[in-house]
Amino acid sequence: MKNLKIKTLKIAVVAVAIATTVLSCKKKELDTVYIKQQEINEVEIKTLEKLTRYLAISINVEIKEITYDSIKNEFNVRKGVYIVSRKDIEASYVVANEYKLNYE
């Protein structure tokens, strides 16, 4: 009877050790994925801020009048009065040498 309790206790200890190891490895993987996602989001936010500022200066409106629709990938100026795609703004920004010279 005593041997059975000791065997059961050993099995339980080993099971807890294995479970802890597996869970800690999984947590590290999830943390790494979260950090990578966070880095991507920070880069994306900086890019959108840069494009929004460029658009605001280009068409002479305040930055607060421009919103970005991430589903449609469009910039809306003054609640839909002027709508332009992100792709178009990026293409325009690439060749905007005078803007870069004066504002960056």
> pLDDT per residue over 61-96, tens digit each?
998 898 888 888 889 898 878 899 999 999 999 998
pLDDT at 43 over 70: yes
Q: What's the CA gap between 50 and 85, in Å, rounded? A: 15
Give the pLDDT confidence score for residue 33 in this predicted structure.
47
For the ranges 13-22, 32-41, 75-84, the maximum mean pLDDT occurs at 75-84
Cβ neighbours around 55 below 10 Å, total: 22
Angstrom distances, CA of residue 3 to CA of 6, 9, 16, 17, 42? 5, 10, 20, 21, 58
- Cβ atoms of 4 and 11 within 8 Å: the answer is no
Give the pLDDT confidence score for residue 88 in this predicted structure.
92
Rounded to two decimals, the pTM is 0.60
Give the pLDDT confidence score for residue 81 in this predicted structure.
86
